[in-house]
Amino acid sequence: MSYALNHTNRKLTLEPKITVNAKIIVVGASNVGISFLETLVFCSHLKFNNLTLISTHGLPGKKLLDTEQRKFLASDHCFNDKDYALMSLCSWVNVVVGRMTGIDRAAKHVVLSTGEIVLYDHLILCTGQQYQVPCPTGADISQHLTNREVPNSSQRRYTGKVPCNHFTLNEEEDCFKALTWIRSNSITTEDGGIASVLFC
């Protein structure tokens, strides 16, 4: 298991730090969100006592997938599992596992999908890039339309029932669910490989 080794010395112990008690909430465990928290946690002259991360699956770096299986997931390689272990953000940051569904700016709180309310003084939104389920255009395929002739709007969102064999891979948890479904719904060869998978 990876681990974090934190070193301190007399000079660092005696150096005065300014304590910041403001409630700082970061929504989303994207690369920007993790980098922002890392900057605050390791600031040499400030000590932040009230950092909170709201994320659907908590802190990243749980090693749910092997290196080969992780190729399912698009990555810009900003952080790897060793980086997450060395930062040890779980030692400095309160983690709220959930999805934010609303913001009340007047009352300065966010609302989670569970109905829970989390107060804040400063709110940082770092949800990152998220892939969405493609929305059918409703075009008649017998007309042989080109892409320019098909009506397209960035505001359209698919709200219907998502087929059980359609997966949107944004995080390791999504890849893990997809691999579990593939293994339970496909023919495997004697060496444990997958013979064929049909996606609609």
Contact 130, 157 (CB under 8 A): no
Cα maximum dimension of the chain: 77
Q: What is the pLDDT of residues 83-105, one digit of tens each?
A: 888 888 888 999 999 999 999 99
pLDDT of the residue at 71: 67
Residue 155 has pLDDT above 70, yes or no: no
| In the chain, domain spans | 10-129+160-184
Which residues, listed in sequence order, are joined to residue 46 by a DSSP beta bridge? 18
pLDDT of the residue at 108: 95
Q: How far is Cα 175 from Cα 64, in angstroms, rounded to an integer?
A: 9
**Dihedral-angle region of residue 11 (phi above 0 means left; psi in -120 to 50 means alpha; beta otherwise):** alpha
Q: What are 113's two structure tokens? A: 């999908």
Reported CATH class of domain 10-129+160-184: alpha beta
Residue 112 class from Cβ within 10 Å (0-12 exposed, 13-18 middle, 19+ buried)?
A: middle
Residue 150 has pLDDT above 90, yes or no: no
pLDDT tier for residue 36 given thresholds of 50, 70 and 90: very high
pTM for this model (two decimals): 0.68
Q: What is the mean pLDDT of the chain?
A: 80
Residue 147 has pLDDT above 50, yes or no: yes
